[in-house]
Amino acid sequence: MPADLPPPLDLPDRIRRFLDEPHVASIGTTGEDGAPHQAIAWYRLDPDDRILLNSRSPRRWPADLLRDGRVSLAVLDGGDSLRWVGLTGVVETVIDDVETARDDICALAVRYGDEDPETMAAFRTQARISFRIRITAAHDHLKDA
Protein backbone atom coordinates (compact mmCIF):
# COMPACT_ATOMS: atom_id res chain seq x y z
CA MET A 1 0.00 0.00 0.00
CA PRO A 2 1.25 3.48 -0.76
CA ALA A 3 3.02 5.25 2.08
CA ASP A 4 1.63 8.63 1.02
CA LEU A 5 -2.12 8.21 0.71
CA PRO A 6 -4.01 10.76 -1.36
CA PRO A 7 -6.31 13.04 0.62
CA PRO A 8 -9.82 11.75 1.31
CA LEU A 9 -12.69 13.17 -0.68
CA ASP A 10 -15.38 15.21 1.06
CA LEU A 11 -18.42 13.30 -0.21
CA PRO A 12 -21.41 15.29 -1.42
CA ASP A 13 -24.53 14.65 0.65
CA ARG A 14 -26.43 13.01 -2.26
CA ILE A 15 -23.65 10.42 -2.64
CA ARG A 16 -23.42 9.86 1.12
CA ARG A 17 -27.20 9.28 1.32
CA PHE A 18 -27.04 6.80 -1.57
CA LEU A 19 -24.08 4.89 -0.08
CA ASP A 20 -25.85 4.70 3.29
CA GLU A 21 -28.45 2.47 1.58
CA PRO A 22 -27.66 -1.28 1.39
CA HIS A 23 -26.73 -1.59 -2.29
CA VAL A 24 -24.04 -4.00 -3.46
CA ALA A 25 -20.69 -2.89 -4.81
CA SER A 26 -18.76 -4.13 -7.79
CA ILE A 27 -15.12 -4.07 -6.70
CA GLY A 28 -12.48 -3.50 -9.36
CA THR A 29 -8.89 -4.52 -8.59
CA THR A 30 -5.74 -5.11 -10.60
CA GLY A 31 -4.28 -8.59 -10.77
CA GLU A 32 -0.62 -9.42 -10.38
CA ASP A 33 -0.36 -9.64 -14.18
CA GLY A 34 -2.00 -6.20 -14.59
CA ALA A 35 -5.34 -7.62 -15.71
CA PRO A 36 -8.51 -6.10 -14.24
CA HIS A 37 -10.69 -8.18 -11.93
CA GLN A 38 -14.19 -7.56 -10.57
CA ALA A 39 -16.20 -9.04 -7.75
CA ILE A 40 -19.48 -8.19 -6.03
CA ALA A 41 -19.58 -7.54 -2.29
CA TRP A 42 -21.47 -6.01 0.56
CA TYR A 43 -20.05 -2.74 1.89
CA ARG A 44 -20.67 -0.15 4.55
CA LEU A 45 -20.04 3.59 4.49
CA ASP A 46 -18.58 4.48 7.88
CA PRO A 47 -19.26 7.87 9.55
CA ASP A 48 -15.78 9.09 8.52
CA ASP A 49 -16.65 8.45 4.83
CA ARG A 50 -14.47 5.33 4.59
CA ILE A 51 -15.87 2.23 2.88
CA LEU A 52 -15.63 -1.06 4.76
CA LEU A 53 -15.26 -4.20 2.64
CA ASN A 54 -14.98 -7.76 3.94
CA SER A 55 -14.13 -11.05 2.32
CA ARG A 56 -13.51 -14.65 3.08
CA SER A 57 -9.83 -15.55 2.81
CA PRO A 58 -8.21 -16.45 0.55
CA ARG A 59 -9.88 -14.91 -2.47
CA ARG A 60 -8.51 -13.06 -5.46
CA TRP A 61 -9.74 -9.52 -4.84
CA PRO A 62 -8.41 -9.35 -1.25
CA ALA A 63 -5.07 -10.70 -2.47
CA ASP A 64 -5.07 -8.00 -5.15
CA LEU A 65 -5.77 -5.29 -2.54
CA LEU A 66 -3.03 -6.57 -0.23
CA ARG A 67 -0.56 -6.30 -3.11
CA ASP A 68 -1.90 -3.09 -4.71
CA GLY A 69 -4.22 -1.01 -2.54
CA ARG A 70 -5.88 0.85 -5.41
CA VAL A 71 -9.55 0.02 -5.92
CA SER A 72 -12.59 1.17 -7.83
CA LEU A 73 -16.17 0.56 -6.80
CA ALA A 74 -19.39 0.82 -8.76
CA VAL A 75 -22.45 0.87 -6.50
CA LEU A 76 -25.67 0.24 -8.39
CA ASP A 77 -29.23 0.89 -7.28
CA GLY A 78 -30.83 -2.54 -7.72
CA GLY A 79 -34.25 -0.94 -8.28
CA ASP A 80 -33.10 1.54 -10.94
CA SER A 81 -30.00 0.57 -12.91
CA LEU A 82 -29.62 4.14 -14.17
CA ARG A 83 -28.83 5.31 -10.61
CA TRP A 84 -25.30 4.51 -9.51
CA VAL A 85 -22.16 5.87 -7.90
CA GLY A 86 -18.58 5.28 -9.00
CA LEU A 87 -15.77 5.53 -6.46
CA THR A 88 -12.00 5.42 -6.64
CA GLY A 89 -10.05 4.74 -3.50
CA VAL A 90 -7.08 3.25 -1.78
CA VAL A 91 -6.80 0.81 1.09
CA GLU A 92 -6.20 2.84 4.23
CA THR A 93 -6.43 0.01 6.77
CA VAL A 94 -6.21 -3.77 6.53
CA ILE A 95 -8.09 -5.55 9.32
CA ASP A 96 -6.50 -8.97 9.40
CA ASP A 97 -7.51 -9.79 12.96
CA VAL A 98 -9.86 -12.69 12.22
CA GLU A 99 -12.26 -12.03 15.12
CA THR A 100 -12.64 -8.36 14.18
CA ALA A 101 -13.16 -9.27 10.52
CA ARG A 102 -15.78 -11.84 11.56
CA ASP A 103 -17.55 -9.12 13.56
CA ASP A 104 -17.45 -6.96 10.43
CA ILE A 105 -19.09 -9.59 8.20
CA CYS A 106 -21.77 -10.25 10.81
CA ALA A 107 -22.53 -6.52 11.01
CA LEU A 108 -22.71 -6.41 7.21
CA ALA A 109 -25.09 -9.39 7.22
CA VAL A 110 -27.39 -7.47 9.58
CA ARG A 111 -27.16 -4.39 7.32
CA TYR A 112 -28.21 -6.52 4.34
CA GLY A 113 -31.00 -8.35 6.18
CA ASP A 114 -29.32 -11.76 6.44
CA GLU A 115 -29.48 -12.41 10.18
CA ASP A 116 -30.12 -16.13 9.84
CA PRO A 117 -28.44 -17.90 12.80
CA GLU A 118 -26.89 -20.51 10.50
CA THR A 119 -25.38 -17.80 8.31
CA MET A 120 -23.98 -16.00 11.34
CA ALA A 121 -22.58 -19.24 12.76
CA ALA A 122 -20.90 -20.00 9.43
CA PHE A 123 -19.35 -16.52 9.28
CA ARG A 124 -17.97 -17.07 12.80
CA THR A 125 -15.96 -20.08 11.58
CA GLN A 126 -14.45 -18.51 8.45
CA ALA A 127 -11.07 -16.92 7.88
CA ARG A 128 -12.05 -13.31 7.07
CA ILE A 129 -10.31 -10.04 6.25
CA SER A 130 -11.64 -6.47 6.13
CA PHE A 131 -10.43 -3.37 4.35
CA ARG A 132 -11.16 0.28 5.07
CA ILE A 133 -11.06 2.24 1.83
CA ARG A 134 -10.22 5.94 1.67
CA ILE A 135 -12.38 7.43 -1.09
CA THR A 136 -10.29 9.71 -3.31
CA ALA A 137 -12.71 10.40 -6.17
CA ALA A 138 -16.42 9.93 -6.85
CA HIS A 139 -18.86 10.46 -9.67
CA ASP A 140 -22.53 9.75 -9.72
CA HIS A 141 -25.55 9.22 -11.87
CA LEU A 142 -28.15 10.13 -9.28
CA LYS A 143 -31.29 12.10 -9.83
CA ASP A 144 -31.31 14.96 -7.37
CA ALA A 145 -34.28 14.61 -5.06
Q: How many CB atoms lie within 10 A of CB 68?
A: 17
Please write the tens of the pLDDT for every residue from 75-128: 999 999 899 999 999 999 999 999 999 999 999 999 999 999 999 999 999 999
Instruction: Give me the number of domains the chain comprises.
Output: 1
Query: The domain spanning residue 75 has which CATH number?
Result: 2.30.110.10
Please write the tens of the pLDDT for every residue from 81-91: 899 999 999 99
Share of the chain above pLDDT 90, in %: 90
Q: Residue 144 above 70 pLDDT?
A: no
Residue at 4 is within a domain: no
> Do 75 and 89 touch, CB atoms closer than 8 A?
no
Name the CA radius of gyration of the chain, rounded. Answer: 15
Residue at 144 is within a domain: no
Structural domain of 48: 13-137
